[in-house]
């Protein structure tokens, strides 16, 4: 019976292994190793300081989880004692009358323990999931307040890992990790205490074997960490091969590189296989190693016990209960050792999230920022100078021009001269180092960013699209727009011409980043989106790039309809698409010449500096 009991760890098993544990332990362990390689591990205290507030509203859930888990452990303690009692009073004496009462109590205890264990697992999981939901929302919302440059500078896969795996690692420290720490510690105290109550001297001897478990855990854990780090690296490499290969599929096939790409995946996959096999080997060996130690302990106890029983100082029931307590105690101790390890590893993962949260947006609203409302769209750049943060060479110097409603100002100049940079300044992703930018005479720094951006529509060089339908992509500008408004914008933008021929019309999915459409079609959807948005200022950043002459001509007419009545800044170096009455500002790289020249539709004007860029 004892061995059966020794293996009956249902309740404690649930206590020690949090529900998410099995699913994630390998991933988490490996993740934190890579986290540690990327940045020094930060202290657990800092993690708690940053993320403890995220448990607000969940603390009662976690506390209830702890209470239930402890109740379950207590039931287990009493049940084992009852088992000893039954052995001594019923089995040894063969008096069946004494069996029923303890048997029913045992049954009752099992029911309570089961219910408590369920409650503990459920409530802790609920708290953990809500924590994850809240923290992920918070980190994502924070990223959206940062300039787009924040994510442009980083690998998307890495950012996504931070929002998923790293956030989970934090939860396992601050949320369910804490729950496990408390409940496992309580179990250790209960089981050790119960063993001491039976025979303190015997308990002392057997406790002396506890360090053996810790040594074995340690030996395995360090090896496991190394293997996990390799697995993580291979996994990252494999993901990037896949990501690049799939995103560039047209290139791969056109250049007949399919075989090379497949080999790259295979090679990385082989590294992954080897690392995983090392892990499988280690975890396969770990179980038996622990079992050997447990068996040694059991034999030691039985040996001592036999001697003690012979001399009448211990009953058989007492011995069996004692053995059972130890069988519960050892895994609890082991789990505590592992917890300490994983907790410190989890802390390392959290600094990747803290790095995001501590990134400040370069530009924020002033305390007394005003709402611009709907402006007339008059733009003025007044001797604007700007260098990117951390770069000493300015991109723009002394740039001045004005543009009012109905006017088109064209910016041309070589690639890298700073044309797109002036758009970023206009949207206030950055503030100029010198000079000012005004909208309707108000310095942009005095406006809320939200109201400023409401007044400006940008059509980017590469049409940005989501993978929804044609209609979704147009309505993105104004989710509350009626279907009639969407249709009207689509008609003006020339979307209707091709949309009606699509298999499901406006409900046709556009594919990953709109890849199922042609460049000209994508651009016309973007124009429809801009028409629907109806902002007074329009910025077109090389809208014809990548379009052939015929397609560009098709796009031109909708574009002119869009420009009508608005202040338009048109960035292009193709003078074919510049309207007749447009003024042209030529922007040259600062390092060659820090001057800006004014030309009219290809005809050079006198070089000028300063604020001369008004309509001649």
Ligand X SMILES: Nc1ncnc2c1ncn2[C@@H]1O[C@H](COP(=O)(O)OP(=O)(O)O)[C@@H](O)[C@H]1O
Segment contacting ligand X by CB under 6 A, of 86-94, 178-186, 213-221, 388-396 = 388-396
Q: What are the φ/ψ torsions at residue 550 (nearest 5 degrees)?
A: -65, -45
Strands 434-439 and 408-412: unpaired
Segment contacting ligand X by CB under 6 A, of 94-102, 260-268, 400-408, 414-422 = 414-422
Segment contacting ligand X by CB under 6 A, of 179-187, 318-326, 417-425, 448-456 = 417-425
Q: Which is nearer to ligand X, 259 or 390 (CB)?
A: 390
Longest pairwise C-alpha distance within the chain = 117
Nearest CA to 372 out of 437, 453, 487 is that of: 453
Rounded to a whole number of angstroms, the minimum distance from the CB of residue 236 to ligand X is: 25
Nearest CA to 2 out of 330, 328, 332 is that of: 328
Binding mask 364-403 for Mg ion (x = CB under 5 A): ----------------------------------------
Binding mask 147-186 for ligand X (x = CB under 6 A): --x-------------------------------------
CA–CA dist 154, 37 (Å, integer): 17
Nearest CA to 61 out of 118, 14, 106, 122 is that of: 122
CA–CA dist 234, 273 (Å, integer): 9
Rounded to a whole number of angstroms, the minimum distance from the CB of residue 147 to ligand X is: 8
| Residue 462 binds which of Mg ion, ligand X, none (CB < 5-8 A, kind-dependent) | none
CA–CA dist 296, 82 (Å, integer): 26
Burial 397-412 (b: 16+ CB within 10 A, else e): bbbbbbbeeebbbbbb
Distance of CA 437 to the CA centre of its chain: 36
501 secondary structure, DSSP code: T
Q: For ligand X, how many residues bind (rule: CB under 6 A)? A: 11
Q: Which is nearer to ligand X, 399 or 465 (CB)?
A: 399
Selected binder of ligand X within 315, 421, 463, 554 (CB under 6 A): 421
Q: Which of residues 57-116 bind ligand X (CB under 6 A)?
A: none
| Residue 395 binds which of ligand X, Mg ion, none (CB < 5-8 A, kind-dependent) | ligand X
Nearest CA to 381 out of 419, 348, 329, 334 is that of: 419
Selected binder of ligand X within 7, 45, 56, 391 (CB under 6 A): 391
Q: Which is nearer to ligand X, 298 or 571 (CB)?
A: 571
Q: Which is nearer to ligand X, 21 or 431 (CB)?
A: 431
Q: Which is nearer to ligand X, 241 or 425 (CB)?
A: 425
CA–CA dist 222, 231 (Å, integer): 14
Rounded to a whole number of angstroms, the minimum distance from the CB of residue 462 to Mg ion is: 10
Q: Which is nearer to ligand X, 401 or 476 (CB)?
A: 401
Selected binder of Mg ion within 117, 338, 420, 567 (CB under 5 A): 420
Nearest CA to 419 out of 248, 559, 536, 587 is that of: 587
Rounded to a whole number of angstroms, the minimum distance from the CB of residue 416 to ligand X is: 4
Rounded to a whole number of angstroms, the minimum distance from the CB of residue 585 to ligand X is: 12
Phi-psi category of residue 515: left, alpha or beta, with phi > 0 → left and psi -120 to 50 → alpha: alpha
Q: Which is nearer to Mg ion, 80 or 547 (CB)?
A: 547
CA–CA dist 24, 16 (Å, integer): 15
**Paired strand residues for 409:** 569, 583
418 scored as a contact of ligand X (CB under 6 A): yes
CA–CA dist 486, 474 (Å, integer): 7
Rounded to a whole number of angstroms, the minimum distance from the CB of residue 14 to ligand X is: 51
| Residue 180 binds which of Mg ion, ligand X, none (CB < 5-8 A, kind-dependent) | none
Burial 530-547 (b: 16+ CB within 10 A, else e): bbbbebbbbbbbbbbbeb
Q: Which is nearer to Mg ion, 166 or 541 (CB)?
A: 541
Rounded to a whole number of angstroms, the minimum distance from the CB of residue 558 to ligand X is: 23
| Residue 48 binds which of Mg ion, ligand X, none (CB < 5-8 A, kind-dependent) | none
The site for Mg ion (CB under 5 A) is made up of 420
The site for ligand X (CB under 6 A) is made up of 149, 388, 391, 395, 415-421
């Amino acid at each position: 019976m004892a061995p059966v009991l020794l293996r009956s760890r249902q309740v404690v098993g649930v206590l020690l292994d949090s529900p998410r544990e099995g699913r994630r332990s390998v991933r988490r362990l490996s993740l934190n190793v890579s986290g540690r390689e990327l940045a020094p591990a930060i202290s657990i205290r800092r993690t708690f300081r940053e993320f403890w507030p995220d448990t607000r509203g969940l603390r009662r859930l976690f506390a209830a989880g702890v209470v239930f888990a402890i109740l379950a452990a207590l039931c287990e303690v009493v049940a084992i004692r009852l088992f000893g009692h039954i052995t001594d009073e019923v089995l040894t004496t063969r008096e069946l009358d004494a069996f029923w009462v303890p048997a029913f109590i045992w049954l009752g205890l099992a029911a309570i323990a089961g219910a408590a264990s369920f409650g503990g697992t459920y409530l802790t999981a609920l708290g953990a999931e809500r924590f994850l939901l809240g923290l992920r929302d918070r980190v994502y919302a924070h990223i959206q307040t940062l300039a787009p440059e924040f994510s442009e500078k980083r690998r998307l896969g890495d950012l996504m890992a931070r929002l998923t795996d790293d956030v989970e690692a934090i939860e396992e420290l601050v949320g369910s990790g804490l729950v496990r720490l408390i409940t496992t510690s309580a179990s250790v105290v209960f089981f050790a205490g119960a063993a001491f109550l039976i025979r303190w001297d015997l308990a002392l001897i057997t406790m002396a074997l506890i360090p053996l478990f810790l040594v074995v855990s340690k030996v395995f854990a360090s090896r496991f960490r190394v293997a996990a780090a390799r697995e993580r690296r291979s996994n990252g490499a494999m993901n990037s091969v896949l990501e690049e290969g799939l995103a560039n599929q047209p290139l791969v096939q056109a250049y007949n590189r399919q075989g090379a790409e497949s080999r790259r995946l295979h090679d990385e996959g082989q590294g992954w296989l080897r690392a995983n096999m090392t892990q499988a080997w280690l975890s396969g060996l770990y179980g038996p190693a622990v079992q050997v130690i447990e068996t040694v302990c059991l034999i030691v106890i039985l040996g001592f016990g036999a001697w003690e029983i012979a001399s009448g100082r211990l009953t058989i029931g007492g011995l069996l209960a004692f053995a059972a307590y130890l069988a519960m105690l050892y895994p609890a101790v082991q789990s505590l050792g592992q917890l300490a390890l994983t907790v410190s590893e989890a802390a390392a993962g959290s600094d990747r999230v803290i790095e995001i949260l501590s990134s400040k947006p370069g530009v924020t609203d002033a305390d007394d920022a005003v709402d611009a409302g709907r402006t007339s769209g008059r733009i003025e750049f007044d001797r604007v100078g700007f260098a990117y943060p951390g770069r000493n060479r300015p991109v723009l110097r002394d740039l001045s021009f004005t543009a009012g409603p109905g006017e088109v100002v064209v910016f041309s100049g070589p690639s890298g001269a700073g044309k797109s940079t002036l758009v970023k300044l206009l949207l206030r992703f950055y503030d100029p180092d010198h000079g000012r930018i005004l909208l309707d005479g108000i310095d942009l720094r005095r406006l809320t960013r939200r109201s400023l951006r409401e007044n400006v529509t940008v059509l980017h060089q590469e049409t940005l699209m989501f993978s929804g339908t044609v209609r979704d992509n147009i309505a993105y500008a104004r989710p509350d727009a009626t279907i009639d408004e969407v249709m009207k914008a689509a008609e003006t933008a020339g979307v209707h011409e091709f949309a009606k021929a699509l298999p499901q019309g406006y409900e046709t999915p556009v594919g990953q980043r709109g890849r199922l459409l042609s460049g000209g079609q994508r651009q016309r959807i973007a124009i429809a989106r801009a028409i629907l948005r109806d902002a007074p200022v329009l910025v077109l950043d090389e809208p014809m790039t990548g379009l052939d002459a015929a397609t560009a001509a098709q796009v031109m007419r909708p574009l002119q309809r869009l420009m009508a009545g608005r202040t338009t800044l048109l960035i292009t170096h193709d003078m074919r698409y510049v309207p007749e009455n447009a003024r042209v500002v030529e922007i040259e790289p600062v390092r060659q010449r820090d001057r800006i020249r004014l030309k009219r539709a290809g005809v050079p004007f006198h070089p000028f500096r300063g604020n001369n860029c008004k309509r001649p």
